C-alpha cells in the first residue's frame, strides 16, 4: 500500500514533537549550550510490521528525563566538558561529581509531559486521518483495476 499521506503526517508529527521537546527542555533549564536540542532528530522507519517513529538525541537526554539515582559518580570527562561550557573551573568538576554521586540528579520528565499533552493526542488524530486517506486511495486503485 502507498503510505504517502501517512508518511507525511508522521514526519510532521515527529518534527512537532521535537519542537515541543526543545521548548520543554528550555523551560526546565536543560539548554546549557544548545547541544542537546540540536541533537534532537526524528526518524521514520518501516520495520516490516509498520511505520515507526524514532526520536533520537544525545545520550544524556535520558538522564534529564529519568534523573540519576545516588550511588555512582558520573563520568568525569562528561562533567569536564559540561563545566567548560558553563565557564566553571576544572577544579569544580570533582566536587560536583561527588555531589551527584551522593545525591543523584532529580528527574525532569519533559517527554512524559509531552506524551500526556493535547498536542500529542492531536498528532495521533492527524496520523489516523492520513492513514484513512491512504486506505481510501488504495481501495480506489483496487476498484479501478477491475
Question: Of 75, 40, 35, which is closest to residue 54 (Cα–Cα)?
Answer: 40
Question: Of 144, 123, 119, which is closest to residue 6 (Cα–Cα)?
Answer: 123
> How much is the mean pLDDT over the chain?
89
Instruction: State residue 109's pLDDT score.
Output: 92
Digit-coded pLDDT (tens) for 98-108: 999 999 999 99
pTM of structure: 0.79
Amino acid at each position: 500500500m502507498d503510505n504517502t499521506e501517512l508518511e507525511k503526517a508522521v514526519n510532521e508529527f515527529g518534527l512537532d514533537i521535537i519542537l515541543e521537546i526543545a521548548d520543554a527542555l528550555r523551560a526546565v533549564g536543560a539548554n546549557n549550550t544548545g547541544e542537546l536540542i540540536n541533537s534532537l532528530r526524528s526518524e521514520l522507519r518501516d520495520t516490516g510490521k509498520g511505520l515507526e517513529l524514532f526520536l533520537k538525541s544525545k545520550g544524556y537526554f535520558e538522564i534529564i528525563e529519568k534523573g540519576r539515582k545516588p550511588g555512582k559518580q558520573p563520568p568525569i570527562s562528561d562533567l569536564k566538558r559540561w563545566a567548560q561550557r558553563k565557564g566553571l573551573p576544572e577544579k569544580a568538576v570533582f566536587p560536583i561529581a561527588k555531589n551527584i554521586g551522593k545525591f543523584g540528579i532529580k528527574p525532569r520528565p519533559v517527554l512524559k509531559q509531552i506524551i500526556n499533552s493535547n498536542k500529542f493526542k492531536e498528532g495521533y488524530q492527524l496520523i489516523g486521518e492520513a492513514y484513512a486517506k491512504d486506505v481510501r486511495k488504495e481501495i480506489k486503485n483496487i476498484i479501478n483495476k477491475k
